[in-house]
Chain A
Amino acid sequence: MSAHDHPKAIGGSLLDRSMLMLLALFGVAAVVMAYRFFAGVGPVSNMTDGFTWGIWEPVNVVVFTGIGAGAYSVGLLCYLLNKGQYHGLVRPAVLVGAIAYTLGGSSIMIALGRYWNSYLLPWVPWWNLSSALLEVAICVIVYVSVLWIEVLPSVLDGAAASRSPRWSAIGKTWGPRLAKAMPYIIALAILLPTMHQSSLGGLMLIAGPKIHPLWHTALLPTLFLVSCLSMGFGAVVALVTILNLTWNAKHDPKLFADMSKVNAGMLLFYVVLRVADVAWSGKLRFLALDFPTFLFVAELALFLAPALMFLSPRVQRNKGRMFGAALLAVAAGAAYRVDAYLTMYRPAGWTADGKPIAAGWNYWPSLGETIVTVGMAAIGVALFIFISRKFPVVVVEDVRAHTTVGSGPAKAVASR
């Protein structure tokens, strides 16, 4: 894939059957969310004072943004290491990032008890800089804006090629201006995720006695940072493979193999860090025939499996196997994150030999919580489809098979 491949708007029907299904899922979730604003968080969720974040924080924020970190991973490769061949992946990755982070942020607004006070968050004098959550909140607010600014070139390209002279003028003036400012925006788009993805791990440092010792470590920020990169790379490969199957998006096996080798490095680095940390801090004694050990081993296996697959030439040559490995890489990071936030969290803490201390609280997500999470994911997919149909985001294999918006003046004239 050379830097000269240009993304095209996919076009096609906006309201096909899959789109209607996604919107229906979101519609149900919207009803639950609306009800929450009248009745409180309790009636729609199984959250309690013991399990106060349920799945909304660990899944909607921590896992969604891990998937959205594809923008960060590809950005690092593309801009910092100056691997121009990855340019074609930037727009879809950034769009997924923008959507995932927006949904993460919106989910928080649903989960916040006193959401109306959150307008105060930008007021710097009241910032408590000791709070990892404050840092995450501020970083995510800024980063969402940065990501949408990064999506803008697609929109402006689309506008520049528009038939309406007014849109076309806007696109032609602002496109180049934005291009000039881009390096300073991209630098932010790399700095901010570095900060908040590690802070997402740092968030759980304070919960020391409540998190199983195999998960609670000073390396939480590092492990979260590494796992967001492995999730991000995996998400981009999985995404482009799906786009290739549905819209004939350009799929360059060589490029994916190269990128996935980097990902294999990330996944292995995670495993080495995790195991070395457990061994180094004398926590091997917590390994036993029990549920925490099972989860610990399962997580490591989830990280190791895609790493080994990515390194195997047999997998690298096969689109399907690569897709499977990429999904595993996403699942690995997701599992680690949910375990650290929820599965291995016990409000009354753990005994000195790693057994949970009994408390009156139990948790399993309610139907309402699950519906909100699924609905948020659904509207995310719907947004992605909508934007890539209308604006040039995806690089397609064969331009002629597809339509028109943004594919250049000649095309636009022909389709008039």
Chain B
Amino acid sequence: MRISRRDLLKGAAVAGATTALAGTASAREAVEPRPEAVGMLFDATQCVGCRACQTACKRANKLPVDLETGETGGQYDAPRDLNSTTKNVIKAVEGANGPTYMKQQCMHCVDPSCVSVCMMGALHKEGEGKKKIPGERAGTGIVVYDKNTCVGCRYCQIGCAFNVPKFEWFDAFPLIVKCELCRHRADPKQEGLLSIANPACCEVCPREAVVYGRREELLAEAKRRIAAAPTRYQQHVYGEKEGGGTQVLYLAPAGVSFTQLGLPELPDRSQASFSESVSHAPYLHGVTPVALYLGMAALIARSRKKEEAAEHREEGK
């Protein structure tokens, strides 16, 4: 195939335009916590492991018990971990000063991986999904689930660094199960926070080891507690920055690390921001695919014409 000067010029123009666009296609911006966002603060120094929250969660969400049979008979609701019938679980870490208890449920990330990967926005920040769902209000930052747009691909489970979303493996018509901050228990007649959500776990906790509130206020409260008793706490609020920040915040006692409690070490940049930046960059807001298609169609059509011309010449001989 001979390349003419005009082709070269055309190629150079396309390459130049592409480079210019590549320069302007910036990385996806980091998601900041919404000012109205709500969440929870769990203070591991306060929890005595009574598991009242676990039971209350099951009742509030109409989840079946997770039966274990004891050696001498008798059955116990004793979930070992989060699962498709358990949205909230208490775990224990043995330490020098006795056990430390850990509460696990959805972290309601500021920039959640599950929301970033969900194909049609079945998992979405309340009121910010692709599909408009009546009754949802934007700004709370609660990660909620819409079963009607979920295809059950389980990509959320791959994405979530906390392994929170669970799948009903033994059901012909399964759902994704995870904590939605008891948004369904909100009371529209109330003013303020309780009109948004009303987590059953926070309502029943006898020691206020877990409290519900605005993320901003909870963060301030967590810092106040650390400042008031610096020897009592790890000098760190987990969830302020981890993975782009979470709306559920954690305080750990001095001498027990957050990784011991089962919280992963994560960079400050959310995985969603990294993944979306890398994936979107080559697309240049959709210019690349269109340009690529048109370029190729033209090229193929032209080489076909040449080929036909060559064949005709051959036949004419």
Count how many chain B residues have C-beta atoms less than 8 Å from C-beta atoms of the other chain.
Answer: 65
Question: At the interface, yes or no: A209 with Cβ under 8 Å from chain B?
Answer: yes
Q: Which of B259-281 contact A (CB under 8 A)?
A: 264-266, 271-272, 274-276, 278-280
Which residues of chain B come closer than 8 Å to A39, judged between CB atoms?
Answer: 170, 172
Binary B-proximity of A6-44 (CB < 8 A = 1, otherwise 0)? 000000000000000000000000000000011111110
- B150, B163, B170, B175: the one contacting A50 at CB < 8 Å is B163
Which residues of chain A come closer than 8 Å to B120, judged between CB atoms?
Answer: 120-121, 123, 126-128, 134
- B147, B163, B170, B278: the one contacting A205 at CB < 8 Å is B278
Which residues of chain B come closer than 8 Å to A128, judged between CB atoms?
Answer: 116-121, 130
Closest residue to B311 on the A side, CB-wise?
A: A3
Which residues of chain A come closer than 8 Å to B8, judged between CB atoms?
Answer: none
Question: At the interface, yes or no: B20 with Cβ under 8 Å from chain A?
Answer: no
Question: At the interface, yes or no: B148 with Cβ under 8 Å from chain A?
Answer: yes
Tell me the bound Cα distance from A38 to B172 in angstroms: 5
Binary B-proximity of A131-171 (CB < 8 A = 1, otherwise 0)? 11110010000000000000000000000000000000000
Question: At the interface, yes or no: A301 with Cβ under 8 Å from chain B?
Answer: no
Binary A-proximity of B275-317 (CB < 8 A = 1, otherwise 0)? 1101110100000010011101101110110110000000000
- A3, A82, A207: the one contacting B159 at CB < 8 Å is A207
Q: Which of B119-157 contact A (CB under 8 A)?
A: 119-121, 130-131, 147-155, 157
Tell me the bound Cα distance from A7 to B244 in angstroms: 57
Which residues of chain A come closer than 8 Å to B105, judged between CB atoms?
Answer: none
Question: At the interface, yes or no: B174 with Cβ under 8 Å from chain A?
Answer: yes
Q: Contact residues of B with A, CB < 8 Å?
A: 1, 80-81, 83-84, 113, 116-121, 130-131, 147-155, 157-159, 161, 163, 165-176, 264-266, 271-272, 274-276, 278-280, 282, 289, 292-294, 296-297, 299-301, 303-304, 306-307
Question: At the interface, yes or no: A48 with Cβ under 8 Å from chain B?
Answer: yes
Given contacts A112-B151, A126-B131, A206-B271, 4 further A-B contacts (CB under 8 A): A40-B172, A43-B170, A131-B119, A220-B278
Q: Is the CB of B117 within 8 A of A188?
A: no
Given contacts A130-B116, A210-B158, contact A80 B174 (CB under 8 A): no
14 examples of A-B residue contacts, CB within 8 angstroms: A38-B172, A49-B167, A112-B153, A115-B151, A117-B151, A126-B131, A128-B121, A131-B119, A137-B119, A191-B293, A191-B296, A205-B275, A206-B271, A218-B278
Closest residue to A42 on the B side, CB-wise?
A: B169
Give the size range of A's interface with the partner.
35 or more
- B150, B169, B276: the one contacting A47 at CB < 8 Å is B169
Question: At the interface, yes or no: A354 with Cβ under 8 Å from chain B?
Answer: no
Q: Is the CB of A191 within 8 A of B158?
A: no
Tell me the bound Cα distance from A210 to B160 in angstroms: 9
